[in-house]
Structure 1
Amino acid sequence: MLRTVTATRYVTPLREGGSLPGLVEADDLGMYVLKFHGAGQGRKALVAEVVVGELARRLGFRVPELVLVEVDPEMGKAEPDEEVQDLLYRSAGRNLGLDYLPGSLGFDPLALDPGPDLAARLMWLDALTLNVDRSWRNPNLLVWHGDVWLIDHGAALYFHHSWGGGPAKAATHGYDASDHVMLPFAGEFESVDRELTALVGPDLLAEVLCLVPDEWLADEPGFATPDDVRAAYAEYFTARLAAPRPWVRALEETRAARV
């Protein structure tokens, strides 16, 4: 399970994107970038953060620790910003925090070459999870102590905003990698695909999906229980990873055209 901490102090809003994340201090004395279930993107953004972030971690990527953060709405009384107050009140209970990386810098493709292997692996992960938010304009990558760290996966798995047609249909979605920040660096995808596909089996998927709190999956239209929703996510990944994986061929074609 993810660790659970309690927010003790709201430090400052991070006015990036539409979800208005904030920097908070918790009872373990840690600092976390807090993603709120009461934000406009709702709890499904938090589900995507957990599923994609923890899947990435198990595939060898660097991802800040994810924790569950309990928020007392009374904390909002000390905030002068009415928008922040309202967000804290709407987000009472369990939210998601990402370990704050002090001194980290945004990834600059002009300043750091990540290497062909990391670039190809990251493009593969984003295509698998339908993460549309990793462009050169908004890489959602940090550089900390010389290493590349993955952040902000709330826009991934966008099919879960409308389950029409089922997860198997969602698995056929194409992925446009022409704007991906890693495209200029990526090596070939055949060996990367073979290696990573072998790792994403039923046990790993179950392990990752069990990290999502039941309350973020409850009352999903068309599903009786949170476990039914987890099974649908697992079905999506299983179908998307089934041979021949046309989205991998599309990645290679995009890379070849760029080269």
Structure 2
Amino acid sequence: MTPPLSVPAADGAPTAPDARTAMGWMHTARFLTTAAQLHQLPVIDVPEIAFVGRSNAGKSSCINTLTQQKQLAFASKKPGRTQHINLFSLGRQGITDAVLADLPGYGYAAVSRSDKMRWQQVMVNYLVSRESLTGIVLLCDPRLGLTELDEALLEVVRPRVEEGLKFLVLLTKADKLTRAEQAKALSIARLQTGGGEVRMFSALKKQGVDEAAQLLWQWAHPAVAAQPEAPATDAATDAASEAAEAEPPALD
């Protein structure tokens, strides 16, 4: 069992957006660039959130469901064949306030050993050195649990998580499990991640979609999310009271 992931607590009570706002923000995702090597990636000055996982964990389906776009993330018919880092920008037209990074799936047996080793090193370098990386979403099939490769990834990112990097495990394909099986899978995954944040997700049934979108929005807007809602000023309170006491307008 891997030791606990120590995630620093956020200061203040986060203000989460409603699901509609978060999903609307996710829907703005658009292709930015693709890269076969780290040096080909552009320098990013906004939060970057990476999606990682085994080749058959449902990563592309997860990204497409969250962004409400059928073919934003490419789902190869031969898992493990897509060997590029694809970046997608988020934000209103002409404005980028966050970037999603779709990393190549790992662990698929049909890929040659040399390709596996090369991409393993590329991913490790990315996860360790990418300065704009703000959060990681690890996709995992709950029927398999966290594999040795997943746990190896946890070890790679552990130092950065302890320094404040956000980390979430999404157990995909939740629709294939009963409620009892989902509860068991959650408990096991939380033990494997040492109490880290784990949630169920189903692209088919849309389970956990709103919650995941809201969390990613918070990751991308830490300054806003960390601010508790401001109390109403005296002037605003007085105005609201006067409006409440005023006679309603006559209806013709």
Larger radius of gyration: 2
Question: Normalized against structure 1, the TM-score is what?
Answer: 0.28
- Between 1 and 2, higher relative CO (CA 8 Å, sep ≥ 6) is seen in 2
